Amino acid sequence: MKKSTKIKLNKVKTYFSKPHNVILLCMGILLTITTVAPIVAIIEDTFKIHPGTIDAYLSGKQSGYSFYNYIDLFTSPMAKANLWTPLTNTVYLAIGTCIVSILFGGIVAFLITRTNMSWRKYISSIFIFPYIMPQWTLAVVWQNVFNSNAVTGTSNGLLASLFGIEMPLWWCKGLFPTIVVLGIHYAPFAYILVGGIFKNMDANLEEAATILDTPKHKIFTKITLPMIKPAILSTILLVLGGAMGSYPVPHYLNLTTLSTKYVSMSDKYAGEASILAIIMMLFGVIIMFVNQRTLKSRKSYTTVTGKSGQISKINLGKIGKYAIAAMLVVITFFTSIFPIVLFAFETFLPNPGDYSFIYTGNLNNLTTKWWITSENLTESGMYGQMGILYNDTIWRAYRGTILVAVSCCGIAGTIGTLIGYAVSKERRSKWANYVNSVAFLPYLMPSVAVGAAYFVLFSSEKINLFNTYWILIIVGTIKYIPFASRSALNSMLQLSNEIEESAMILGVPWSKRMTKIIIPIQKSSIISGYLLPFMTCLRELSLFMLLCTQGFILATTLDYFDEMGLYAFSSGINLILIITILISNALVNKITGASLDEGIGG
């Protein structure tokens, strides 16, 4: 008996002597609590009776539990408007966004990596801008270009003001523009994932088929397409979760989705809104299980071999390589550079949609009042607000945004790196796979649903963190851990165990092995795992909007000024966010060499 106990103790001691096992155990427990607790809280909220809401009216009670929220949401005359129409629109939006992002990003990836198209490096760098910029950027640009007073009832956009062109309503608002905008926003996902495979694909695979006189369409469908299938599946999974949880783009373009309906119902229909959040979460869980199934059933394709380092480039011709490049330069100008220019101009217009300075050539029709007004009494149309440069609300929100972004990137980056390291060491164990999956689950869940779950959990009488930086940092960290964990895992899998084992033989402690050997070798990938949470956190609205008041961080402050009709202020905030993100990205790229499109564009 004593001998068997001693053996068990030795096994436990041996298990915990390995740092990666300690990391897996601690992170598994931590992530289980932080993921399961808010889900349980929001499920409970769907049955709870909320004073002053529809469930209190239907049940005749002010507290307790009931099924009235489910009955009313699914069977009342308002079921179509509150559930089925938003659900249908959300599914259409997610599918449409996947199609646009994969086609757009995949085609550009193919042209840059597999053809002799000109200006590839420039196009590669500029193509990822829509993802770096706030999600609502292109939605606001779409409004500022295509809206017209006659069709949308708003101020005239550029086309209506300058040329009298009035686009139809389906083009200005609704499902079509929302799909296009979100598709362009997420196209860099497809570009980075598909482009990485195209870049490293062995030329011998296609050349062998060409020698056998295989038709080009068969080479594409039987060889090339199966090779990029994993990247396409990964893009679909990532984009589905992102599109379903998007709030700002459908909000700006007037499309009713589960996210926008949740926000509109959360006051008077709190319990029913929680059911909508549960439905969005279920989509995230389904996506995770599909991801697991595809990983298990995925065929193994060797795309990198030791026989050939050459990639077969398609010759587009002397004219073609410049013509196609020029077309992409124009497209990326409007998706990447034009928004920055437009936002800058919007902050100098005397009134929204007043582009008279263009056709009159009179620069006196521009104004600097939105920037430099230092008192709030005399300037008309500013609703008592000081100019952007003197506005305490904006700069207090900016400091808060930087604090949250730096905290989230530091904590999420570190935890994600540790998870990636530990999972890579025990990747065949069930517990490691569980930790990897539960770390990735919050990302697959729509952002509004995650925010709603933590709002319910941390806005109770026992724990109230609403409108504090703590709740934003906690939720942001949990949501963005997958960025760092996946980046670290992929880089750690490339390292041979012999590297760390050699250091262990020499008696180098684990902390030094990490900081002096492992992290420096995979510096670029690991820093990308820190950079992505930082950039995403700066422009996050869907995740944080339910957790703090307007004016607490820049994203919610922008929403506040939009509601006030101070569009010059919201354009200025957009400009500040974009410039901050671009400067941060450029600095990290310059100092460390880490870049989102690294290695794809040449």
Distance CA 124, CA 192 (A): 10
The residues of the chain that CATH labels 1.10.3720.10 are 79-367, 375-602
The pTM assigned to this predicted structure is 0.83
Provide the 3-class DSSP secondary structure of residue 300.
Answer: coil
Q: Which of 97, 339, 104, 142 is nearest to 242 (CA)?
A: 97
CA distance 541 to 250: 13
pLDDT at 362: 73
- The DSSP H or E segment spanning 3 is helix 2-16
Residue 601: predicted pLDDT: 47
Residue 403: band (very low, low, confident or very high) from pLDDT cuts 50, 70, 90? very high
Which of the following CATH numbers is that of domain 79-367: 1.10.3720.10, 1.20.120.1730, 1.20.1060.10, 3.30.1490.190? 1.10.3720.10
| Model confidence pLDDT, tens digit, residues 239-297 | 888 888 889 999 999 999 999 998 888 878 888 888 998 998 888 788 777 766 665 55
Instruction: Find where tokens 């599914």 sit.
Output: 91
pLDDT at 599: 45
pLDDT digit string (tens) for 142-158? Answer: 988 898 888 888 888 88
Helix (H, G, I), strand (E, B) or coil at 422: helix
Which of 553, 540, 511, 347 has the alpha carbon at shortest distance from 418?
511
Amino acid 306: pLDDT: 45
Token pair of 269 as six digits? 């229909």
What is the C-alpha separation between 201 and 304, in angstroms, rounded? Answer: 6
Residue 291: predicted pLDDT: 67
Judged against a pLDDT cut of 80, whether residue 41 lies above it is answered with yes
Cβ atoms 537, 410 nearer than 8 A: no
With cut-offs at 50, 70 and 90, classify the pLDDT of residue 202: low
> Is the four-CA dihedral 518, 521, 522, 526 of positive or negative sign?
positive
Degrees, nearest 5: CA angle 50-51-52:
115
How many Å apart are CA 167 and CA 160, to the nearest integer? 8
pLDDT value, residue 472: 94
Distance linking the first and last C-alpha atoms of the chain: 65
Q: Between the ranges 12-16, 187-191, 497-501, where is the mean pLDDT highest?
A: 187-191
Does CATH number 1.10.3720.10 belong to domain 375-602? yes
Query: Is the model more confident about 350 or about 96?
Result: 96
What are the tens digits of pLDDT across the range 563-591? 888 888 988 998 898 888 888 878 877 77
Q: What is the pLDDT of residues 367-382, one digit of tens each?
A: 888 888 887 665 566 7
Q: Quickly list H helices, 245-355.
A: 248-252, 258-265, 270-297, 320-332, 338-346
Average pLDDT over residues 182-210: 77
